[in-house]
């Protein structure tokens, strides 16, 4: 590892720091559509020989700007040399967005925990739209929070992006990171404006899936702001034949998990805390955060069927960012914990969706699963992911929920021999934890 002399935090009181705010505003103005069209017209007037061609050059400029907005062409304006560049520290700024679940946040936290374990001298800072900052406090990780635009009444995108740019630029000015990592489906313009301002920062995008010909609506300019794109593996093998080549180098890893098996709690720990007999059949039921589709009817279907089995208890997983689950009573318990996989040893089987985290945790910790994929997630093909496990007998997958189908599936899972076989089949899909691989890579790069 290359030795680097540690430097102190940056200061916002310096002349350069205060002037950079105005420089960023100048850059925003110079990149705006109105400024570029106005400048083009004025230059044509100032040079009379150009004026007759304005009838051709102006439509071409407007057409080019349109291509930039559609992601077919990079933005030609680069004014970042106007900004001051401080010497970087051994610091990493991580920016996970909040989607409908914890996927982005969990991947970043998995990396952060392992980076700090491998090299405690590396500073890890979170900048996030995720409201669950108490989870970072538990880990001793400092964080900056900015609410998503939809949390504000009638805030336009330009205003929110300016707020994001200025806040993130302030974080950069103070912490002087060597590496910035973004984990999200779509890069925010305010974030891109902030990260382009310092060439000393290595920009990394953690992104599941690849950029395919005709299959991405993300602007070329957005992708090319990054130096690296990390593609963590999924259950479905990626075909790389039609991947579009961009500026960033591609880094691949095995699936990323927050926990290692040694961190799971003992089998009877959760049962003792929730007053569940040690000899009971315990089922974990979690069908997502409830932000995309109506999952209430599916939950009720499963609960009604499980209620018919004696000495069977159900633990409902309540999302920290979803709606509260009302008390049900009887042999149903509710937990609101993160990550719920801490208690996977307590369960005999689970009924869950096939989100990235849930799926790979169930496989890695060999938990027999009745999988009900969320079919309304848009970019995330949960069904394709789950079918890999179903094909080797590691999961039971229901494409459509009916009382009859759920009854048959649960009846199978109540058989201890079936569960034993499913656990053995899960082992065939075990892979190393990509978080360990990427943490070592980051430490080499910082």
CA 389 centroid distance within chain: 23
- Residues sharing a CB contact under 8 Å with residue 303, sequence separation 6 or more, in sequence order: 285, 314, 328, 332
C-alpha distances in Å from residue 49, one per residue of 36, 40, 45, 53, 60: 20, 14, 9, 8, 18
How do residues 97-140 score in pLDDT, each as one tens digit?
986 678 899 999 999 999 999 999 999 999 999 999 999 999 99
- Residues sharing a CB contact under 8 Å with residue 87, sequence separation 6 or more, in sequence order: 7, 176, 200
Find the largest Cα–Cα distance for the chain. 91
Q: If residue 357 lies in a helix (H) or strand (E), which one and from where to where?
A: helix 356-364
The answer to whether residues 446 and 6 touch, using CB atoms and an 8 Å cutoff, is no
CA atoms of 299 and 307, how far apart (whole Å): 12
How do residues 291-320 score in pLDDT, each as one tens digit?
434 556 888 899 999 999 999 999 999 888
Q: What confidence score (pLDDT) does residue 14 get?
A: 62
Q: Closest Cα partner for 362 from 384, 343, 335, 336? A: 343
The answer to whether residues 342 and 265 touch, using CB atoms and an 8 Å cutoff, is yes
Domains of the chain (ranges; CATH) run 15-76 (no CATH), 81-255+433-445 (3.40.50.2000), 261-427 (3.40.50.2000)
CA atoms of 435 and 445, how far apart (whole Å): 15
Backbone phi and psi for residue 406, each to the nearest 5 degrees, phi listed first: -65, -40
In 3-state terms, what secondary structure has residue 228?
strand
Counting as low any pLDDT under 50, the low residues of the chain are 1-3, 210-215, 240-242, 290-293
Q: If residue 96 lies in a helix (H) or strand (E), which one and from where to where?
A: strand 91-96
Backbone conformation region of residue 39, classed left if phi is above 0, alpha if psi is from -120 to 50, else beta: alpha
């Amino acid at each position: 590892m290359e030795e680097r002399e540690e430097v102190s935090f940056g200061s916002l009181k310096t002349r350069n720091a205060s002037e950079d705010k105005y420089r960023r505003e100048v850059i925003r103005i110079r990149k705006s559509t109105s400024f570029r069209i106005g400048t083009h017209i004025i230059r044509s007037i100032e040079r009379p020989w150009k004026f007759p061609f304005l009838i051709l050059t102006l439509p071409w400029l407007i057409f080019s700007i349109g291509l930039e907005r559609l992601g077919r062409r990079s933005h030609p304006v680069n004014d970042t040399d106007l900004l001051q560049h401080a010497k970087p520290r051994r610091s990493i700024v991580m920016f996970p967005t909040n989607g409908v679940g914890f996927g982005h946040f969990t991947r970043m936290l998995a990396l952060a925990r392992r980076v700090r374990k491998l090299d405690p001298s590396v500073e890890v800072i979170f900048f996030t739209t995720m409201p669950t900052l108490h989870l970072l406090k538990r880990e001793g990780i400092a964080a900056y929070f900015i609410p998503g635009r939809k949390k504000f009444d009638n805030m336009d995108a330009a205003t929110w992006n300016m707020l994001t740019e200025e806040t993130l630029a302030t974080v950069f000015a103070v912490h002087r990171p060597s590496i910035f990592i973004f984990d999200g489906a779509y890069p925010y313009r305010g974030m891109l404006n902030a990260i382009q301002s310092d060439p000393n920062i290595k920009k990394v995008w953690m992104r599941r899936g690849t950029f395919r010909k005709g299959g991405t609506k993300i602007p070329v300019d957005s992708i090319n702001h990054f130096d690296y794109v990390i593609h963590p593996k999924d259950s479905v093998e990626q075909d790389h034949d039609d991947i579009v080549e961009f500026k960033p180098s591609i880094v691949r890893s095995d699936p990323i998990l927050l926990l290692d098996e040694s961190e799971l709690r003992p089998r009877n720990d959760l049962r003792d805390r929730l007053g569940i007999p040690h000899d009971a059949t315990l089922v974990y039921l979690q069908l997502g955060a409830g932000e995309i589709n109506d999952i209430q009817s599916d939950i009720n279907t499963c609960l009604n069927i499980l209620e018919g089995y004696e000495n069977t208890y159900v633990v409902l997983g309540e999302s920290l960012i979803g709606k509260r689950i009302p008390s049900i009573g009887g042999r149903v318990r509710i937990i609101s914990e993160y990550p719920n996989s801490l208690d996977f040893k307590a369960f005999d089987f689970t009924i869950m969706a096939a989100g990235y985290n849930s799926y790979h945790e169930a496989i890695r910790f060999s938990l027999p699963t009745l999988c009900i994929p969320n079919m309304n997630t848009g970019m995330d093909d949960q069904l394709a992911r789950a079918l890999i496990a179903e094909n080797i007998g590691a999961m039971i997958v229901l494409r459509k929920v009916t009382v009859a189908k759920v009854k048959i599936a649960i009846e199978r899972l109540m058989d201890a021999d079936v569960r034993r076989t499913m656990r053995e089949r899960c082992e065939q899909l075990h892979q190393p934890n990509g978080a360990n691989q990427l943490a070592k890579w980051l430490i080499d790069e910082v």
